[in-house]
Amino acid sequence: LSIAAYRDAGDRCANDVEALRTCCRSLPARRVILYEGDTANEIYQLFDGWAFRYKATRDGRRQILSFLLPGDLIDLPLLHLNRLGHAVKSLTPVSLCVFARDRLSTYLCARMERVHNAGTLCASLSAEAGESLLDLGRRSAAERIAHLCLRIISKLRDRQLASGPVYPFPLTQIHIADATGLTPAHVGRTLTELRLARLLSMQRGWLTVPDIGALQRI
């Protein structure tokens, strides 16, 4: 149970967070962790594995808002809002650190920088959402997929979860479709185009990007 994951959550100078942790919980892949509209008394931090935040319409259409990597708080808005605006589902088997909401809240309030850090996390969350909006509204299929891969790669590198030209990548084409607003079939087609252009290739849970500069040029 390394402290590294906590560091990455933005609460950098607080090694004593560990004492706050209520417990640790493990879940299998493809399990819904939180539902939209939930009002939980617990704040979860992803300790290991991948997950994603999403919203769904009644008729089954789904939109993935963002992917969550180890270190991410998966229900940060619950610190400020009573009801969660999105659902969360695990992608791989995950383990979570559980914090009691009120205890975490009083801990944060004890020092001003901590509250500020929480606000910073929240602000970068909405900045990230802005990026996604630009993708969905104004970019082509290839651009959306390329940008999605680049954003995940940069997150992986930031946390030192990967470095080389090959990255762990447990998303299926269905997840990519739901994140980019496309259809699985069209994602598949676009992906083969990108592969033929030697820009990226995905297989068996791994993404390889031979020339990351070429990908960024899109």
- Shortest distance, CB of residue 127 to a copy of itself, whole angstroms? 4
Of the pair 167, 182, the CB lying nearest a copy of itself is at 182
Q: Smallest gap, in angstroms, from Cβ of residue 31 to a copy of itself?
A: 21
- How far apart are CB 152 and a copy of itself at their closest, in Å? 17
| Three-class SS of the chain | CCCHHHHHCCCCCCHHHHHHEEEEEEECCCCEEECCCCCCCEEEEEEECCEEEEEECCCCCEEEEEEECCCCECCHHHHCCCCCCCEEEECCCEEEEEEEHHHHHHHHHHCHHHHHHHHHHHHHHHHHHHHHHHHHHHCCHHHHHHHHHHHHHHHHHHCCCCCCCEEECCCCHHHHHHHHCCCHHHHHHHHHHHHHCCCCEEECCEEECCCHHHHHCC
Closest C-alpha among 75, 132, 121 to residue 101: 75
d(CA 49, CA 26): 10
| Residue whose CB is less far from DNA, 27 or 115 | 27
Return the number of the residue (78 or 88) whose C-beta is nearest DNA. Answer: 88
Task: Name which of 20 and 108 has its Cβ closer to a copy of itself.
Answer: 108
Per partner kind, with CB cut-offs from 5 to 8 A, the member of a copy of itself, DNA, none near residue 63 is: a copy of itself
Give min distance, CB of 149 to DNA, in A: 13
Residues that bind a copy of itself (CB under 8 A): 53, 55, 57, 61-63, 65, 76-77, 79-81, 85-86, 109, 112, 115-116, 118-120, 122-127, 129-134, 136-139, 178, 180-181
CB closer to a copy of itself, 95 vs 105: 105
The distance of closest approach from Cβ of residue 136 to DNA in the complex, given in angstroms and rounded to an integer, is: 10
Q: Which is nearer to DNA, 119 or 181 (CB)?
A: 181
- Chosen from DNA, a copy of itself, none, partner binding at 112 (C-beta under 5 to 8 Å by type): a copy of itself
Residue 90 interface partner, choices DNA, a copy of itself, none, CB cut-off 5-8 Å depending on type: none
- Structure-token match 């299998």, residue found: 28
